[in-house]
Amino acid sequence: MKKIENKIKNHWAQKIIATPDKKVEIFKQVPANEQGLVLFRLSRPLRHEILKDMPRDEIKKLMHYLDPDEVTDLLQLVNTKKKDKIIKTLSHEIKDKVEFLLGFNPKTAAGMMSLDYVEVPFGKTFDQVGRIVHKHEKRTGKFPAILVIDDGFLIGELMGYKFALHDGKETIDKFTHRVPSVMYNAPESEIVAKFKSHPHNKIVVLDEDESIMGVIYSDDILQIIEEKPINALREFAGVSEEEDVLDSAFKKVKHRYKWLIINLGTAFLAASVVSLFEDTISAFVLLAVYMPIIAGMGGNAGTQTLAVTVRGIALKEIRLETGKKVIMNEVLAGLINGLINGVIVAVVATFWNKSPLLGLVLAIAMVFNLMIAGFFGTVIPLIMKKLGKDPASSATIFITTATDVFGFFTFLGLASLVLV
Contacts of 223 (CB under 8 A, 6+ apart): none
Q: Domain spanning 249-418 has what CATH number?
A: 1.10.357.20
Q: What is the pLDDT of residues 254-312, one digit of tens each?
A: 767 777 788 788 888 888 888 888 888 888 888 888 888 888 898 889 888 888 888 78
pLDDT tens digits, 338-367: 999 999 999 998 888 888 888 899 999 999
Q: What is the pLDDT of residues 232-247, one digit of tens each?
A: 555 555 555 555 555 5
> Which carries the bigger pLDDT value, residue 10 or residue 340?
340
Share of the chain above pLDDT 90, in %: 11
The CA-atom distances, in angstroms, between 416 and each of 125, 285, 353 are 88, 12, 18
d(CA 264, CA 250): 20
267 contacts 397 by C-beta, under 8 angstroms: no
Residue 390 predicted with pLDDT over 70? no
CATH superfamily of this structure's domain 2-103: MgtE N-terminal domain-like (1.25.60.10)
For the domain made up of 112-237, give the CATH fold.
Answer: CBS-domain (3.10.580)
Contact status, residue 242 vs residue 254, Cβ threshold 8 Å? no
Confirm if 157 and 146 have CB atoms less than 8 A apart.
Answer: yes
Q: 230 falls in which pLDDT band (50, 70, 90)?
A: low
Delimit the domains of the chain by residue range: 2-103, 112-237, 249-418
Give the pLDDT confidence score for residue 55 in this predicted structure: 82
Q: What are the CA-CA distances from residue 376 to residues 268, 320, 399, 412 (Å)?
A: 19, 13, 6, 21
Query: Within a 10 A sphere around the Cβ of 358, how many other Cβ atoms?
Result: 23
What single-letter amino acid sits at 319? R
